[in-house]
Amino acid sequence: MAKALFHKNQKVYVKPVGTWAIVERVIPQWVKGMDEPLRVHYDVGLGREFSANDLVAEDKLEKRQSQSDAMLMENWRVCRAKSRWGADDDNSHHPFPGTFPVVVTDENDWGGWRVPGAEYDRDPEKIEYQARLISNSPQMLKLLKSLVDQVSDAPENASAEVRELARTGIYILRDVYDVPDKLPAEAAE
């Protein structure tokens, strides 16, 4: 059974198309003998009907946006933790002998990313690179968001290459920000 999540004349973001639209019609699909519709689709004037999974309400998107803007202000950083494995002569080939990188994502030096000692010992340069990449990801995300916003505001002022970069950026941002409200059942197992 389904209930209508959006109402007529409500402004929604249409995820598959990547644009804003107004709900023109709520289209329930009724089954004989049932009190509620089996499915509810929405006509937003884009030539086809969309399900509730394809739409995001304006207030919900703004809430997600404010949460993500707060995340962009975070200061993720690489700290060094003392390694408890191996002797100093065993890890002299490491970029920073006796330590390993820890990416801290909380202002109280809590939370974040770290790597098991055996994995660090296998390829320390790769792990150091990953730590730098992760710690700079909020700034890179902010830069990408700025590029996409500028190109979408004035696409005629951007070259074809920059427009293509912005298009790729939209897919990356969609992947970062589109967190499903409910995880699929197989993910919980």
Model confidence pLDDT, tens digit, residues 98-122: 777 888 877 777 778 888 777 877 8
Contacts of 41 (CB under 8 A, 6+ apart): 27, 29, 49, 50, 51
Are residues 39 and 2 in contact, defined by beta-carbon separation less than 8 angstroms? Answer: yes
Question: Who's near 184: CB < 8 A, 6+ residues apart?
Answer: none
- For residue 183, what pLDDT is reported? 47
C-alpha–C-alpha distance, residues 91 and 188, integer Å:
39
pLDDT band at 187 (very low <50, low <70, confident <90, very high): very low
Distance CA 108, CA 99 (A): 20
Token code pair at residue 164: 């293509």
pLDDT (tens digit, 9 = 90+) per residue, 53-100? 888 887 776 666 665 555 555 678 888 877 766 555 666 666 677 777
CA-wise closest residue to 177 among 44, 65, 92, 91: 65
Of 20, 7, 12, which is closest to residue 152 (Cα–Cα)?
Answer: 20
Residue with tokens 């059942």: 185
State the Cα angle at 33 between 29 and 35, rounded to 5°: 65
d(CA 5, CA 42): 10
Q: Residue 70: what residue type?
A: A
Report for 13-17, 108-112, 138-142: range of highest mean pLDDT = 138-142
Closest Cα to residue 120, out of 97, 139, 87? 97
